[in-house]
């Protein structure tokens, strides 16, 4: 598993050149002062907020029932901010498991954030502390909503991530206080909302053969590994499916199936928006 | 320190580090063309894996339940070009109705 992450990470890092002078200047655009992008992210994530809030509540309720205590539950939502890992910790500790077992399960579940954050790394701004803090708003939903062809929209990522953060932490606090007098989100079908969301975000990406191959391979890897590996590993292993992009370097010049103008020589079919200033995306 | 706090603080620190490692260490360097292509395919691979695991797995078992039906209903809404909110509501309502009647 670790080898896989390292493999994915190194395949991304290996070719990273030193930043050339001037590149940074083009990245910083005058639009930075506008708040429109953040609001766009917040609006994009709004359909999900009821479900996120409900799951935050159910985390608070379950954590209380498992004897985690109010402050530990809320601190966990504020720092870890990742539903599946937090539920894993509650279920391991609630079943009498050790802290080490709970930590192991949660870290495996969150290990996917390393390659995801690396993919989004170029859009974060400022010094190390600011980048560290902004990166905390990266979760599955904000990452997927902020994805643009060839890169990510930083303001959408932050706007959506902030909405999710408030919903998740606020929900946890409500759950801790209100206890199990509240409805189970599963009764409302809210657990079915997340796979549908990810499918909706996936569908527009499936416009060329490589993307379709990566998606089918990723889903296949995840399904095959689910019964035989600990939770978390199937999704991390599935990220290796993106390596189908290395299959034929010459395919870079192949036309894509969208309406973009032909790619300039030397760039690939997707137009490499990662080289474009942030404001030019989407 | 209780094992609860050990787990909470270690998992919190590990998650913060996992999310921050790339953005802090890679800085604002742009990814070169070859790897950008790989990164582009990370999204379909990861999203498909999330769809598969969140719809068809519980803990470490493959299961076919109301979430699968919700996903199919959501998929139909996607094919009909419904907005995201409608897709999510259709999927949730389908699962909720099925749970109500079964």
Q: Is a pLDDT exceeding 50 seen at residue A253?
A: no
Residue window 1-60, chain A: list those with CB within 8 Å of chain B: 8-9, 11-19, 23-24, 27, 44, 46-48, 51
Which residues of chain B are within 8 Å of residue A203 when distances are taken between CB atoms? 78
Which residues of chain A are within 8 Å of residue B35 when distances are taken between CB atoms? 11-16
- Mean pLDDT confidence for A15-21: 37
Local structure of B57: helix, strand or coil: strand
Dihedral sign of CA atoms A269, B40, A163, A31 in order: negative
List residues bridging with A152 in a β-sheet: A147
Rank A11-20, A63-72, B25-34 by mean pLDDT and report only the highest.
A63-72
SS3 per-residue string spanning chain A? CHHHHHHHHHHHHCCCCCCCCCHHHHHCCHHHHCCHHHHHHHHHHHHHHHHHHHHHHHHHHHHHHCCCCHHHHHHHHHHCCCHHHHHHHHHHHHCCCCHHHHHHHHHHHHCCHHHHHHHHHHHCCCCHHHHHHHHCCCCHHHHHHHEECCEECHHHHHHHHHHHHHHHHHHHHHHHHHHHHCCCCCCCCHHHHHHHHHHHHHHHHCCCHHHHHHHHHHHHHHHHHCCCCCCCHHHHHHHHHHHHHHCCHHHHHCCCCCCCCCCCCCCCCCCCHHHCCHHHCC
Comparing alpha-carbon positions, the chain B residue that sits nearest to A105 is B11
Minimal Cβ distance to A119: which of B42, B44, B87: B42
Least confident of A155-159, A244-248, A264-268: A264-268
Q: Is a pLDDT exceeding 60 seen at residue B3?
A: yes
Strands B61-62 and B57-58: antiparallel
Least confident of A1-10, A104-113, A160-169: A1-10
Q: Is a pLDDT exceeding 70 seen at residue A31?
A: no
Q: Does residue A68 contact residue A90 with C-beta atoms inside 8 Å?
A: yes
Minimal Cβ distance to A189: which of B29, B55, B99: B99
Q: Does residue A263 contact residue B36 with C-beta atoms inside 8 Å?
A: no
Which residues of chain B are within 8 Å of residue A239 when distances are taken between CB atoms? 42, 45-46, 49
Tell me if B30 and A18 make a contact (CB, 8 A cut-off): no
Minimal Cβ distance to A117: which of B4, B21, B78: B21
Tell me the pLDDT band of A29, cut-offs 50, 70 and 90.
very low
Minimal Cβ distance to A132: which of B20, B57, B91: B20
- Mean pLDDT confidence for A245-254: 56
Rank A50-64, A92-106, A128-142, A190-204 by mean pLDDT and report only the highest.
A128-142
List residues bridging with A148 in a β-sheet: A151
Q: What's the rounded Cα separation, in Å, for the pair B78 and A220?
A: 21
- Mean pLDDT confidence for A73-77: 95
pLDDT given for residue A71 in this prediction? 94
- Mean pLDDT confidence for A191-195: 86
Q: Is a pLDDT exceeding 70 seen at residue B14?
A: yes
| Mean of per-residue pLDDT scores for chain A | 77
Residue window 53-82, chain B: list those with CB within 8 Å of chain A: 53-57, 59-62, 66-67, 69-71, 73-75, 77-78
User: Could you tell me which residue, B17 or B31, shows the higher pLDDT?
Assistant: B17
| Mean of per-residue pLDDT scores for chain B | 88
pTM over 0.80: no
Q: What's the rounded Cα separation, in Å, for the pair A78 and A28?
A: 30
pLDDT given for residue B51 in this prediction? 93
Residue A105, CA distances (Å) to A2, A7, A69, A135 in order: 14, 21, 20, 22
Least confident of A23-27, A80-84, A116-120, B78-82: A23-27
CA angle B48, B54, B59 (to 5 degrees): 130
pLDDT digits (tens, 9 = 90+) for A214-229: 999 999 999 999 999 8
């Amino acid at each position: 598993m670790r080898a896989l992450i390292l493999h994915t990470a190194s395949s991304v890092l290996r070719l990273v050149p030193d930043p050339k002078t001037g590149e940074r200047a083009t990245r910083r655009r005058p639009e930075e002062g506008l708040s429109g992008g953040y609001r766009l992210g917040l609006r994009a994530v709004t359909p999900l907020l009821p479900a996120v809030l409900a799951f935050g509540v159910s985390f608070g309720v379950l954590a209380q029932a498992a004897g985690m205590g109010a402050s530990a539950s809320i601190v966990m939502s504020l720092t870890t901010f990742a539903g599946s890992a937090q539920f894993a910790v509650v279920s391991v500790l609630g079943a009498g498991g050790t802290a080490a077992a709970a930590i192991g399960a949660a870290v495996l579940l969150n290990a996917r954030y390393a390659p995801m954050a690396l993919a989004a790394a170029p859009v974060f701004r400022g010094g190390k502390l600011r980048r560290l803090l902004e990166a905390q708003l990266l979760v599955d939903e904000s990452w997927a909503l902020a994805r643009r062809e060839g890169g990510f929209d930083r303001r959408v990522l932050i706007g959506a991530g902030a909405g999710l953060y408030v919903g998740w932490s606020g929900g946890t606090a409500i759950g801790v206080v209100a206890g199990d007098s509240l409805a189970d989100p599963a009764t409302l079908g809210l657990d079915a909302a997340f796979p549908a969301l990810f499918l909706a975000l996936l569908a527009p990406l499936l416009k060329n053969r490589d993307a379709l191959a990566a998606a089918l391979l990723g889903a296949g890897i995840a399904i095959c590994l689910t019964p035989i590996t600990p939770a978390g590993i199937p999704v991390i292993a599935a990220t290796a499916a993106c390596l189908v992009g290395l299959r034929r370097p010459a395919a870079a010049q192949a036309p894509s199936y969208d309406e973009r103008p032909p790619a300039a020589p030397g760039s690939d079919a997707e137009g490499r928006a990662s080289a474009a200033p942030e404001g030019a995306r989407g | 320190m209780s094992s609860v706090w050990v787990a909470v603080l270690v998992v919190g620190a590990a998650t913060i580090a996992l999310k921050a490692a790339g953005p802090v260490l890679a800085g604002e360097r742009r990814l070169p063309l070859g790897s950008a292509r790989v990164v582009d395919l990370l999204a379909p691979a990861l999203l498909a894996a999330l769809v598969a695991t969140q719809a068809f797995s519980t803990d470490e078992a493959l299961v076919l339940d109301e979430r699968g039906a919700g996903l199919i209903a959501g998929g139909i809404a996607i094919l009909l070009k419904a907005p995201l909110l409608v897709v999510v509501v259709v999927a949730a309502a389908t699962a909720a109705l099925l749970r109500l009647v079964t």
